[in-house]
Amino acid sequence: MEDRWLSVDEISIYLGVTRETVYKWLSEKKLPAHKVGRLWKFKKEDVDLWVKKQAKTIGNPKK
């Protein structure tokens, strides 16, 4: 099990989106992340859960 924190670049590659999209989600307080100094860091497991939650919300917009 990988237990390291991912950077903005790494999470954007992992999700298949641009860095700008990651920063947009961060500014909208949608993407789970932690700020360490000036840097944003992500736990892969937290982001995976967030993606699954988004998929359920899109599939059932009343939730």
Query: What's the mean per-residue pLDDT of the chain?
Result: 90
Which pLDDT score, from 0 to 100, does residue 1 have?
52
Query: What percent of the chain shows pLDDT beyond 90?
Result: 75
Q: Is the pLDDT of residue 38 over 90?
A: yes
Task: Determine contact, residues 57/27, Cβ cutoff 8 Å.
Answer: no
* φ and ψ of 30, to 5 deg: -95, -40
Which comes out higher in pLDDT, residue 24 or 54? 24
CA distance from start to end of the chain:
32
Task: Give the pLDDT score at 3.
Answer: 80
Token reading at 28: 């909208």
Which pLDDT belongs to residue 55? 82
Q: What's the average model confidence in pLDDT over 18-31? A: 95
DSSP, res 60: -
